[in-house]
């Protein structure tokens, strides 16, 4: 039985899936060579051909050539209820092209970033970033500025000219010119009063 590898799109046979097959026991399936072996690779290929979006895997050639990296299902969150297809772990990671919902640019959700997302950060498998790395970085920066601004204004308008100047800088970055000017004037006034 043959199928196409989702990483390289080349047709592969059961014998091209030895590394993927080593993960079957982690999925509750018999490993090739088990006495109770019910042809798990054949069943896997049948399932994949019937439901191609259910599994993320790669053939031995892709893994050997570092186009993909083998996953560790034990480190992934995938057994939860109510989400179709979410009970299947990833078997490999490979670069995939995505489109940013914010800037509409195409970007690569890389195999190493996927490993980090799903096995280190423990994001639920089948979740995907909606934005490119640049837009996600900008979102983090905006959140950090907002948090810093909230801290600076927590007790009302500060008296310290350096804090007032920093508030003015943040308002300038986020495009609030009126507030930026007001806090710059307040910072200058406090310095003059010293």
Entry pTM: 0.75
Instruction: Please check whether residue 60 is in contact with residue 14, taking contact to mean a CB–CB distance below 8 angstroms.
Output: no
Instruction: Label each residue of the chain as H, E or C.
Output: CEEECCCCCCEEEHHHHHHHHCCHHHHCCCCCCCCCCCCHHHHHHHHHHHCCCCCCCCCHHHHHCCCEEECCHHHCECCCCCCCCCCCCCCEEECEEEECCCCCCEEEECHHHHHHHHHHCCCECCCCCCCCHHHHHHHHHHHHHHHHHHHHCCCCCCCCHHHHHHHHHHHHHCCCHHHHHHHHHHHHHHHHHC
Backbone angles phi, psi at 109, to 5 degrees: -90, 95
- Mean pLDDT, consecutive 10-residue stretches, the chain (194 aa), reads 91 89 74 55 82 87 97 84 66 96 97 96 89 95 94 90 94 93 92 82
Give me the pLDDT at residue 45, please. 84
For residue 163, the number of C-alpha atoms closer than 13 Å in the C-beta half-sphere is: 13
Long-range contacts of 27-32 (CB under 8 A, 24+ apart): 27/73, 27/88, 27/89
Give me the pLDDT at residue 15, please. 87
Give me the pLDDT at residue 38, please. 46
Give me the pLDDT at residue 44, please. 82
Summarised one tens digit per residue, pLDDT across range 37-75 is 446 788 888 888 888 877 899 999 999 999 999 999 989
Give me the pLDDT at residue 23, please. 87
* Distance from the Cα of residue 43 to its chain's centroid: 29
Give me the pLDDT at residue 32, please. 55
């Amino acid at each position: 039985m043959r199928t196409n590898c989702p990483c390289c799109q080349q047709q592969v046979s059961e014998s091209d899936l030895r590394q993927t097959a080593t993960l079957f026991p982690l999925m509750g399936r018999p490993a090739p060579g088990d006495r109770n072996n019910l042809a798990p690779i054949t069943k896997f290929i049948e399932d994949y051909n019937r439901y191609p979006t259910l599994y993320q895997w790669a053939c031995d050639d892709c893994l050997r050539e570092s186009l993909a990296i083998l996953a560790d299902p034990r480190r992934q969150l995938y057994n939860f209820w109510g989400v179709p297809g979410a009970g299947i772990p990833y078997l490999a990671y490979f670069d995939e092209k995505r489109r940013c919902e914010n800037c509409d640019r195409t970007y690569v959700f890389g195999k190493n970033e996927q490993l980090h997302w799903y096995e280190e950060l423990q994001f639920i498998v089948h979740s995907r970033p909606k934005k490119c790395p640049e837009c996600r970085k900008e979102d983090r920066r905006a959140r950090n500025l907002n948090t810093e601004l909230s801290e600076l204004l927590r007790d009302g308008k500060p008296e310290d000219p350096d804090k007032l100047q920093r508030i003015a800088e943040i308002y300038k970055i986020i495009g609030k010119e009126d507030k930026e000017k007001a806090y710059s004037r307040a910072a200058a006034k406090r310095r003059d009063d010293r």
